[in-house]
Amino acid sequence: MRDDAQAEARALRAEISQLDQASLDLILTRARSHYAWTDKPVTDEQIARMYDIVKMGSTSMNSCPARFTFVRSKEGKERLAKSLKPANVPKMAGAPLTVIVAYDTDFWRELPKLFPHEDRRHLFDGKPEYCEDTAYRNSTLQGGYLMMAARAIGLDVGAMSGFSNTIVDEEFFAGTTLKSNFLCNIGTADETALFQRLPRFTFDEACTFA
């Protein structure tokens, strides 16, 4: 199995050495965060395809702690609106799909399935702060993968953090071990709401060598 995995990695590198600039533009360098949306729906097939891409992204010990709640019904949107700052309500209400990117603090109980060659549950059992830290960090990674996956299949995204995690958790995850991380609107954007791209740090301002 190790030989097969190594051969597959070599074959992929031989087939595709890097993305072309157009692909990079689509998923990141020219992509924009969006705040207004057309009424074109996000289909079940697109949702499933996004998850099939996301699930292959790397996480610590393949822990995969993220859990995704896809909110698109009128009832679901009304429940989610309770948690939002007023300025964010129309952004969410107008999007055909809003994803609650959450994480399971008991993710480590699934490690025998996800990391079967060595039982590492003892690293997390009885250590709630370590569980929380690991789950939060890796679910954030997986939320980023979701944004890239949505763009890669031709959709637009707009992440949001202006909401009450406590209200979301009470409304959607009461009685569970799940906690919300951030929200992400997904759909086909109405570009008329865009403004100019904001500045970024230069390499020298943000990067160092050691």
The answer to whether position 86 is within a domain reads: yes
- What's the total number of domains in the chain? 1
pLDDT score recorded for residue 13: 93
56 lies in which domain range? 39-190
pLDDT tens for 39-77 read 999 999 999 999 999 999 999 999 999 999 999 999 999
Question: Stretch 166-192: mean pLDDT, rounded?
Answer: 98
The answer to whether position 137 is within a domain reads: yes
Strands 66-71 and 178-187, sheet pairing: unpaired
Those residues whose C-beta lies under 8 Å from the C-beta of residue 193, and which sit 6 or more positions away, are 34, 35, 36
The answer to whether position 170 is within a domain reads: yes
The partner residues of 37 in beta bridges, in order of sequence, read 189
pLDDT score recorded for residue 52: 98
The answer to whether position 26 is within a domain reads: no
The answer to whether position 31 is within a domain reads: no
- Tokens representing residue 61 in the block: 């010990």
pLDDT tens for 70-101 read 999 999 999 999 999 999 999 999 999 999 99
- For 153, the 3-state DSSP assignment is coil
27: burial class by Cβ within 10 Å (0-12, 13-18, 19+)?
A: middle
For the chain, how far is it from start to end, CA to CA, in angstroms?
Answer: 37
Give me the chain's average pLDDT, please: 97
pLDDT tens for 165-175 read 999 999 999 99
The answer to whether position 138 is within a domain reads: yes
Beta-sheet strand order (sheet of 66-71): 66-71, 97-104, 178-187, 156-160
Question: Stretch 151-162: mean pLDDT, rounded?
Answer: 97
- For 127, the 3-state DSSP assignment is coil
Q: Which of 175, 202, 207, 189 is nearest to 31 (CA)?
A: 189
pLDDT at residue 1 above 90?
A: no
The answer to whether position 168 is within a domain reads: yes
Helices and strands, number each (H, E), in the chain? 9, 4
Those residues whose C-beta lies under 8 Å from the C-beta of residue 55, and which sit 6 or more positions away, are 64
pLDDT at residue 209 above 90?
A: yes
pLDDT score recorded for residue 58: 97
For 161, the enclosing helix (H) or strand (E) is none
The answer to whether position 117 is within a domain reads: yes
Question: Stretch 131-160: mean pLDDT, rounded?
Answer: 98
Question: Stretch 158-165: mean pLDDT, rounded?
Answer: 96
Using a pLDDT cut of 70, give the percent of the chain over it: 100
Q: Which residue has the tokens 């360098």?
A: 29
Q: What is the CATH number of the domain that holds 126?
A: 3.40.109.10
pLDDT at residue 159 above 90?
A: yes
Give the number of residues written for the chain: 210
Question: Stretch 141-145: mean pLDDT, rounded?
Answer: 98
pLDDT score recorded for residue 63: 98
- Confidence (pTM): 0.95
| CB contact at 8 A, 134 and 124 | yes
